[in-house]
Every structure is written in C-alpha cells, then in structure tokens.
Amino acid sequence: CKTSERKSRGGKVEVRSWGTAKEKTLECGQIVWGLAFSTWPAAESRGKEPTGTAGLPCLILATGLNDGQIKVWEVQTGHLLFSLVGHQDVVRDLSFAPNGSLILVSASRDKTLRVWDLSRDGQQVQVLSGHVQWVYCCSISPDCSMLCSVAGEKSALLWSMRSYTLIRRLEGHQSSVVSCDFSPDSALLVTASYDACVIMWDPYTGEQLRTLRHVPLYSAVDSSSEVHTSSLRSVCFSPEGLYLATVADDRLLRIWALELRSPVAFAPMTNGLCCMYFPHGGFIATGTRDGYVQFWSTPRVLSSLKHLCRKALRTFLTTYQVLALPIPRKLKEFLTYRTF
C-alpha cells in the first residue's frame, strides 16, 4: 500500500481551500470492506507511535481488507502503523473502543471476531468464536462494557468487553441479522434483519422493547409494477439517541423517532448498503453498491431536559441499577426506555 497526493499539472501538490492538509489516497491494492477511525493519544510513546504528530493526538484509520488483513494508518501522513494478520477471510467490519484505549474489534467472514490492542504493538488479545455464518457487523457500546456482533443468523450475540465472554444470545428475528448499533448512553441496542424488522433491545436484560416493521411504499419508490422487498441492510442511532436511520432494499432511507412505530421521514435511494449519522448531527451518509456515498440533511434535534437527564443517568447506571433505585415506578419505566 502507498499514499498518493493529488497534484496539479504544474507538479505542485494541490491543497483544498477548506483545509491545510493535502488530499491523500491510501492505495491498498484490494477491496476495502471495513473502516474505523480513532485517535492516537498524545501520551502514547510506543515504538509504533505516529511519526508526524510531535507528541500531539492524531487521527488513525483501520481498514479491513479482502485477504483478511487489517491495515492501520496515520491519516495525516499516510504512514502505515500496523498490518494485523490473523483472519482467514474478508474483514467485513471494524470497531474501535470509544474510550480511546486503542482496542480494535474486527469481524470477518471466517466466522470469528478478533480483539487487537494497538497500544501493545497490535497484539491480538482474543479470538471470539460463536457464530456459524459470516460475521457482518460489530458494535462496541459507548461505555465500552459490551460488544454486539451479528452474522447470517437469526440471533445477535452480546459479549462482555471485560472478560471477552458471551453474555447472551438475542433471539427474536425471523431471518439473518445484518446490522447493529448501541444508543449513545449504552442503554439500548438495535438490530436490523432481512425479515424487514428492527428490534430495539435492552442489552442488560435481553428484553425486546420495540419492533419497527418496514412496510414497502411502492408508490414512493417508482411507478413500475416491480415489487421490491424491505430486507434491511443497515441501522444506526442519531447522536442524541432519539432517532434511528435505516436502509432497506425497497430503495428508501427511513428516519424513525423512538417514541413512534412509524417513520417520520423518507428519502429515495438506490442500492443502499449502509448508513451513518454525522457525530454532531445534521446529516446522514449512506453508501451504495454503485460505489457512491450520498449525504442527506436531517433536522437538528433539540433534546428535552427530561431526555438529557435520562441520557446522563443511563451513561453511568445499568438497567438493574435503575430498577433498584427508590423512585416511582413510572420514573423507572421512563429511565429504562419502557416509556418515552
């Protein structure tokens, strides 16, 4: 792999007017299936420390490749930091621990998940086995206590990030589960499946809290008589934790409010595969089989004081800890997302 810089005809490096960094392309020479960003802490002083940071935090990017390798890059310089070898097939998804610990989890078609510690020279910490099909997606909870993984199976697996052991299987879908995501306060987990449903779970108890069913809107898709399925491809939480975005095979991007069981907004799209909210809200990025990333504006949401208090509490309290509090039952139901 190498880094190339975009140059003008005069041979000078072209610099975009909106930033001081030069445009760079990481040429990996094979299909890149998964991507994950993280920050290399300024305090780290390992032998693999990024070269261009001068002791400052820097952005790193992990790439999951077609041959099972994972390559980790320093974004600013294009310097290759690690080549992580262990998977025997395509690395389909990657997830960094949100706490900045440089723990990376990879999901592969070899039916395993692997845990890597970049602060220890990319050492492989654990191999998680339990799936019998290709692993499509993995997600680490924002409090770094849990890991969810989904494969071509009807269940999702929930793992402990402390002991790297299986906590439970989440069963409820009628077809392959292909996508998962935690809410920003770690209190909720959503899974999306080819059965055209999104299930919202309490990850601490394993309870199903809500099911969002995708009903095809053929007239909104096109005027032909062709019937498109509603098999889901991707689901993600909004940054404030009040909305979900889903991409399905019926050529629609949907936005859902958690307190409702029907979408609040639609956008037509073709061959959608994945979606992701911008970390600060305001728009969604979607990826397609055609090789495009599209950006969609979304309303910026002003959370109620009530929700902000719930979110703050649930960042530190599990469901069981909330239920043990000496507070009214209705307040417990609200704090555990049984009501909105």
In sequence order, what DSSP letters do the residues of 19-36 get, joined into one string? -SSBPEEEE-SS-EEEEE
Question: Is 261 strand, coil or helix?
Answer: coil
pLDDT of residue 300: 75
Question: 188 with 336: CB under 8 angstroms?
Answer: no
Give the other-Cβ count within 10 Å of 67's Cβ: 14
pLDDT of residue 243: 92
Q: What is the CA radius of gyration of the chain?
A: 21
pLDDT of residue 90: 92
Q: Which residue has the higher pLDDT, 56 or 31?
A: 31
Locate 220 and state its tokens.
Answer: 């909104």
Locate 191 and state its tokens.
Answer: 């899974």
Give the other-Cβ count within 10 Å of 124's Cβ: 14
Q: What is the pLDDT of residues 297-335, one digit of tens each?
A: 887 778 889 999 999 999 999 999 999 999 999 999 999
Q: Which residues pair with 32 in a beta bridge?
A: 65
pLDDT tier, 5 (very low <50, low <70, confident <90, very high otherwise): very low
> For residue 139, what are the contacts with CB-CB under 8 A and spacing of at least 6?
95, 147, 148, 149, 180, 181, 182, 189
> Where do the structural domains in the chain lie, given as residue ranges?
29-39+57-129, 130-155+165-216+227-302
Average pLDDT estimate for 15-42: 67
The C-alpha atoms of residue 246 and residue 233 are separated, in whole angstroms, by 8
In sequence order, what DSSP letters do the residues of 126-152 get, joined into one string? EEEE--SS-EEEEEE-TTSSEEEEEES
In sequence order, what DSSP letters do the residues of 64-99 get, joined into one string? EETTS-EEEEETTT--EEEEE---SS-EEEEEE-TT
The C-alpha atoms of residue 71 and residue 62 are separated, in whole angstroms, by 6
pLDDT of residue 96: 95
Question: 3 with 24: CB under 8 angstroms?
Answer: yes
- Largest CA-CA distance found in the chain, in angstroms, rounded: 72
The CA distances from residue 147 to 90, 120, 138, 253, 273, in Å, are 20, 21, 7, 26, 22
Give the other-Cβ count within 10 Å of 265's Cβ: 14
The domain defined by 130-155+165-216+227-302 folds into: Methylamine Dehydrogenase; Chain H (2.130.10)
Runs of H (alpha helix) within 200-251: 218-221
pLDDT of residue 2: 45
Average pLDDT estimate for 41-64: 68
pTM, to two decimals:
0.83
pLDDT of residue 127: 97
The CA distances from residue 233 to 30, 242, 244, 318, in Å, are 23, 20, 13, 29
Q: What is the pLDDT of residues 186-242, one digit of tens each?
A: 999 999 999 999 999 999 999 999 999 887 665 444 434 333 357 889 999 999 999
Residue from 227, 272, 281 nearest 249 by CA: 272
Least confident window among 68-72, 115-119, 271-275: 271-275
Q: What is the pLDDT of residues 137-186, one digit of tens each?
A: 999 999 999 999 999 899 999 999 999 999 999 999 999 999 999 999 99
In three state form, how does the secondary structure of 310-332 look?
HHHHHCCCCHHHHHCCCCCHHHH
The domain 29-39+57-129: what is its CATH number?
A: 2.40.10.480
Residue from 20, 24, 22, 38 nearest 279 by CA: 38
